[in-house]
Amino acid sequence: MSYERKILENLRMPTQKEVEQALLKSLFKNNGVIKEFGVGEKVVEEIADDFHLSEEQRATYLETIYRKENRVKKSNLWHRLLFRAADSLAKKNLVSRPTQTILLTNKKEWMLTEDGYNQALQLLHIPVAQKEILPIKSYEVEKIVKKMQKQERKENYNPFENKKVVKTTRETKIRNRAFSQVIKEAYNFKCAVCGMKIYSPDRLQWEVEAAHIVPHYANGKDDIWNGIALCRLHHWAFDIGWFTLSDNFKILASGKIKNLPTDLGKLGNYDFIGQLTKEDLMICLPEEKEIYPHPNAIKWHRENIFSQ
């Protein structure tokens, strides 16, 4: 039995398989990414806590003696175990390695792949359909997000999808999630109209939604320029035509609002629909101009959805 194996057994450390599963769950809890394992890194302690590791189990070092160089290298056993489990997950293509992820996000992190995400859901008994609404990152989705962010804004932008491009269901689903992520991040998870920002008690899901300006049913693209982040109420009001936007991002409210019975559209004292009629009300825009909604998409909404 090797020196390392002996120590692992004596200390009753978790098996590699157990650590792999714990890592997948931890990746899920941390929105799909965890940092490289280092001393003082939160995730290293979190997973150790999950296994109720003792101080001794956390603090044991292995000594490797390099006789030729007359040097002893010490490495923390728990970190080694974590690294080996992550390395094994990467070999099975369930996570991307920090050296690979950094090319995409500029951060040295382990990130779930789509297959890894599916396995994490299985381990946590969460239906795969939840992927549509959970904000967990995956390597494949992140690749599309990056592509969307890098695209050049064009004056003559066409907000309609080319019908001839055939996409598989998997591709479509990944693109939907990338669209949702890109829009929510661009608007800092706030409704562009009312500024509402709130997450679920487990901090995993945001209330805000990524709304298409030209909707899917009208063949609208999943693009950063064809989207806007809205709370559920304002998403509904936008999709149904209670309001639209001018080319300089002012809110244009439907003239029919004034004919509404007074008991409609109120949230307590907040007149959610009447608010829209305020003059010169602008939406909150992303920081960079490059990713503002495109006038070509807005124009279509004004002409086809908005109810004057």
Contact set with Zn ion (CB under 5 A): 191, 193-194, 196, 231, 234
CA 124 from centre of chain: 19
Whether the Cβ atoms of residue 159 and residue 198 lie closer than 8 Å to each other: no
Six-digit token string for 163: 């019908």
Closer to Zn ion by Cβ: residue 175 or 212: 212
Q: Which amino acid is at 72?
A: V
Its sign, for the CA torsion 290, 295, 301, 304, is: negative
Closer to Zn ion by Cβ: residue 41 or 239: 239
Q: What is the closest distance, in whole angstroms, from the C-beta atom of residue 233 to Zn ion in the complex?
A: 6
Q: Where are the beta strands (DSSP E) in the chain?
A: 33-35, 61-66, 71-76, 95-96, 109-112, 209-212, 227-230, 243-245, 251-253, 266-267, 270-271
Q: What is the closest distance, in whole angstroms, from the C-beta atom of residue 236 to Zn ion in the complex?
A: 10
Rg value, the chain, Cα: 25
Closer to Zn ion by Cβ: residue 153 or 232: 232
Q: What is the closest distance, in whole angstroms, from the C-beta atom of residue 279 to Zn ion in the complex?
A: 19
Closer to Zn ion by Cβ: residue 221 or 234: 234
Closer to Zn ion by Cβ: residue 234 or 302: 234
Q: What is the closest distance, in whole angstroms, from the C-beta atom of residue 306 to Zn ion in the complex?
A: 17
* Distances 244 to 75, 113, 277, 281 between C-alpha atoms, Å: 60, 38, 11, 11
Q: In what order do the strands lie in the sheet with 109-112?
A: 33-35, 109-112, 95-96
